[in-house]
């Protein structure tokens, strides 16, 4: 489990380094929201792919247990945890899309201009 967490941290921080080098054109709050949404979508897609691979791997462990009850339970719990993880990731992804879509921050059409002092 520690290896999976460490791998997730490395992947997540590598995206941060890439975006720190070339952050794109961030001129207002809306363009920042678009950049962060793109960043979040990429991270979620990679985590979803890893979760699907984990569920497949756990399914293979379950099928190949060969009558060993411990391996069977390990594969079964891995499948359950993987499916729960996928459901949570998709829910958060949908929630972010709902918030950015309803506030208008997910597009560059409606720019938000902060108040200025003259």
95's tokens: 């929630």
Q: Which of 38, 22, 42 is nearest to 30 (CA)?
A: 38
pTM above 0.85, yes or no: no
For the chain, 118 residues long, give each residue's pLDDT as a single digit of tens. Answer: 677 777 677 666 665 555 554 456 667 776 777 777 778 778 888 888 899 999 999 999 999 988 888 889 999 999 999 999 999 988 988 887 788 778 766 555 555 566 777 6
């Amino acid at each position: 489990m520690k290896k999976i967490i460490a791998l997730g941290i490395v992947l997540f921080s590598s995206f941060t380094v890439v975006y720190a080098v070339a952050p794109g054109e961030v001129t207002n709050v809306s363009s920042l929201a678009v950049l962060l949404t793109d960043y979040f979508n990429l991270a979620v897609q990679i985590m979803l792919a890893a979760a699907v691979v984990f569920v497949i791997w756990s399914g293979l462990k379950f099928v190949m247990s060969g009558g060993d009850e411990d391996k069977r339970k390990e594969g079964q719990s891995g499948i359950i945890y993987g499916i729960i993880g996928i459901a949570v990731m998709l829910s958060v992804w949908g929630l972010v899309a709902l918030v950015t879509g309803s506030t208008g921050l997910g597009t560059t059409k409606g720019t938000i201009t902060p108040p200025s002092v003259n």
